[in-house]
Chains A and B, each alone.
Chain A
Amino acid sequence: MKLDRPDDRGRFGDYGGRFAPETLMPALDELERAFEKAWSDPAFVQRYHDLLTSYVGRPTPQHIAGRLSEQLGVTVILKREDLAHTGAHKINNAMGQGLLVGEMGKRRLIAETGAGQHGVATATAAAYFGLECAIYMGEKDIERQRLNVYRMRLLGAEVIPVTSGAGTLKDATNEAMREWVRSVEYTHYTIGSVVGPHPFPWIVREFQKVIGEESIVQLGGTLPDVVVACVGGGSNAAGMFYPYLDLGIDLVGVEAGGLGIETGKHGASIGAGSPGVLHGSRTYMLQDADGQVIEAHSVSAGLDYPGVGPEHSYFADQGMARYESVTDAEALDAVDLLARTEGIIPAIESAHAIAWVARERASLAGKTVLVNLSGRGDKDVEQIAQIRGLL
């Protein structure tokens, strides 16, 4: 059953909670109180929606992908988060948290980023609200998502390379949390997905559910058979799924299959992981028998993460949504497919959702499938060109 909010211990069923150093606990309490107050204040909610309309460019379009549908024999509807300001759904959350920080009187934003989209969104919010900004990004991701590094710097943010671990999203999240422990008195941690200690998973889902709410209105009374979204931490999927829960619709989250689940090189936390504690909440994660975290792998920096939001773990256990995966190769093929049939270059993250529909077209034949196109692919063009030997 759909939960409006986690219980008073920050849990969605068995998942979530607050496994954080004591230093952060008062800040998490403060954030929870500030969000509760703001989110039940019609004036705050109005300001948030006004900002989404006037600045972010919402509502984002939703339309049938005609040539793609014809080619697959499946009616594919695209929700175009790629057309939101800065090029991905991440901006919905970053602007929401930016607005909230105004209520708490902190002067600095920090964030982790994988693909760089959340980093760009946070840097944008910081510029918009006049706040200082530091973004933690793994070294490997700085390399493969360079365009977004330049964008963050143009926006006035400091980009701090993280060299620990594999130099990807998990490591950037560790480092952002450590920095928050140091600077919590004047800094807000603008977490980028539905992960982290309570109340973050709840706040980020609330700021992203506008995706699904708009989508339902835009469908004008008809409902799709299947709703599909890619899952890294799970924020675009949570925002899209939330209003579609409990309606008997097949909700499918697509995790990173990487080089194939059987190779162990993937990011399928739900599909191939087990419950544990990562980044402050209890959730499905990739780990060994001693509870050590196993590095994820994905061609897409945004899905290259060994955990997932706790609410998705709850959905998975309850059978409210199911979680599948596609490989790096399938995702890259789907970039081409969407580019050539629709004239849309998707982020490789978002291409995972398209790839699943393409692979499953036989079982989906004749159905209507709504895909959340979480972001655009400009940031990935250089990486794709490199992979294909074009650079």
Chain B
Amino acid sequence: MSADRLRELFATVRAEGRTAFLPFMTAGLPDPELSPSVFRAIEGADAFEVGIPYSDPLMDGPTIQAAGQTALKAGTTLDRGLAIAGGVAETTGKPVIIMTYANVIFQVGSERFAAKAADVGASAVIVADLPIDEAGPIQAAVEAVGLGMVLFVAPTTDERRVAQIVAADPVFVYGVAELGVTGERKESGGHAARLSERVRALSKVPLVMGVGISTPEQASAMRPLADGVIVGSALVRAVLDAPDTDTALRDLALISRRIADALR
């Protein structure tokens, strides 16, 4: 329901000395009717990141772009996307984080968006093109209804900005593990360790790594560095590439189980 659910989750994983698994999936993929079953197929999740599709996702690579286009074409609106997110929260009992882009929020208005997200039982909001410099109004609206705001730290973020970001008290920091947009990578740029060091030197805020983490090995490498790991493109691709829904659900279960196991 609220940011507290996420705070409890991170307190628990810290106590257990493990790293949480936060799968990302686009709402409305492959269409709004089948989407709930896609989320249900994901195994081992500690929380879900539910993407509300946007026509021009600047922070996303080809896989999540394609997923967004498919979901939009299939009729995924903001309200249907949020309803799907609400269903995930209800059926799984796990915290749900809504991820989208600034214009989707501005078009309905920050307060109305926050109220809608709270209504469906979401815990937090991530906005991919909203740096701390512009986050104020949305963060205020989201926190006013008891939800958490997620803020980014990237490998390029300088010390002054890291300090500013943790001081804004996000429910967690999204550590951008690689330079570039979302998508699978064979090679890592090796930025995550330094990023983690820099955030942890300044704050106890939970740190969740995302971008370019797609395999059990890549996820496992984040265990000493982060409280959580976000995996998106690898899961989304399983749905996009599958010849039929049954295959998609089976592949999704398999891939997510392997990643979750790598984090145990």
Q: A residues bordering B, Cβ < 8 Å?
A: 9, 17-27, 164-165, 170, 174, 177-178, 181-185, 276-280, 282, 287, 289-293
Contact (Cβ within 8 A) B128 A185 = no
Closest B residue to A178 by beta carbon equals B181
Q: How far is the CA of A357 from the CA of B58 in the complex (A)?
A: 38
The answer to whether A276 and B158 have CB atoms under 8 Å apart is no
From B78, which residue of chain A is reached at the shortest CB distance?
A290
Chain B residues in 8 Å Cβ range of A287:
103, 107
Given the complex of chains A and B, what is the CA–CA distance between A181 and B189 in angstroms? 13
Query: Could you tell me the distance in whole angstroms from the C-beta of A294 to the nearest C-beta in chain B?
Result: 8
The answer to whether B157 has its CB under 8 Å from any CB of chain A is yes
Tally inter-chain residue pairs, CB-CB below 8 A. 117
**Chain B residues whose CB sits within 8 angstroms of the CB of A27 once the complex forms:** 156
Q: B157 near A25 (CB under 8 angstroms)?
A: yes
Q: Which 10 A-B pairs have the closest CB atoms?
A: A291-B107, A182-B180, A22-B152, A23-B154, A292-B55, A291-B103, A277-B103, A291-B104, A22-B154, A293-B55
Interface centre among A9, A17, A26, A181 (most CB of B within 10 A): A181
**Residues in B139-181 with C-beta less than 8 Å from chain A:** 151-158, 161, 176, 179-181
**Minimum C-beta distance from A293 to chain B (A):** 5
A287 to B72, CA, bound (A): 14
Given A174-B56, A292-B72, A181 and B131 contact (CB-CB distance below 8 Å): no
Closest residue on chain A to residue B127 by CB atoms: A19
Q: List 15 A-B contacts (CB under 8 A).
A: A17-B133, A18-B133, A21-B128, A21-B181, A22-B151, A22-B152, A22-B157, A23-B180, A181-B180, A184-B156, A276-B106, A279-B58, A280-B129, A291-B106, A292-B55
Interface flag for B202 (CB, 8 Å): no
Q: A21 to B152, Cβ gap below 8 A?
A: yes
Bound-state CA distance A147–B210 (Å) is: 42
Asked whether, in the complex, the Cβ of B103 is within 8 Å of the Cβ of A25, the reply is no
**In terms of DSSP, what is the predominant structure of the interface of chain A?**
mixed
Cβ 8 A contact of A291, one of B54, B128, B153, B158: B54
Q: A23-B152, A291-B107 are in contact. List 7 more A-B contacts (CB 8 A).
A: A23-B154, A23-B156, A26-B157, A276-B103, A280-B58, A290-B78, A292-B72
Q: Roughly how many angstroms separate A303 CA and B46 CA in the complex, as a whole number?
A: 47
Distance between Cα atoms of A293 and B106 in the complex (Å): 13
Contact A292 B54 (CB under 8 A): yes
Contact B156 A26 (CB under 8 A): yes
Instruction: Give chain A residues whose Cβ lies under 8 Å from the Cβ of B155.
Output: 23
**A9 and B58 in contact, given A277-B102, A278-B103, A290-B78 (Cβ under 8 angstroms):** no
Q: Determine the residue in chain B with the shortest Cβ distance to A295.
A: B55
Which of A27, A277, A280 counts the most chain B CB atoms within 10 A? A277
A185 touches B106 (CB 8 A): no
Chain B residue, CB-CB nearest to A21: B59
Task: Quote the shortest CB–CB distance from A110 to chain B (angstroms).
Answer: 13
With A27-B156, A290-B107 known to touch, is A9 a contact of B133 (CB < 8 Å)? yes
Closest chain B residue, CB of each to CB of A164: B65
List, in ascending order, chain A residues with CB within 8 A of B103's CB. 276-278, 287, 291, 293
Instruction: Tell me whether B61 is interfacial, beta carbon within 8 Å.
Output: yes
Task: Decide: A185 near B179, CB < 8 A? Known: A26-B156, A290-B78.
Answer: yes
Q: Are B179 and A20 in touch, CB under 8 angstroms?
A: no
B255 at the interface (CB under 8 A from A): no
Interface pair B134/A17, CB less than 8 Å apart: yes
**Contact partner, A22, options B107, B176, B180, B181, Cβ 8 Å:** B176
Contact A25 B179 (CB under 8 A): no
Given A19-B129, A181-B179, are A170 and B56 neighbors across the interface (CB < 8 Å)? yes
Q: Which residues of B contact A170 (CB under 8 A)?
A: 56
- Interface flag for B34 (CB, 8 Å): no
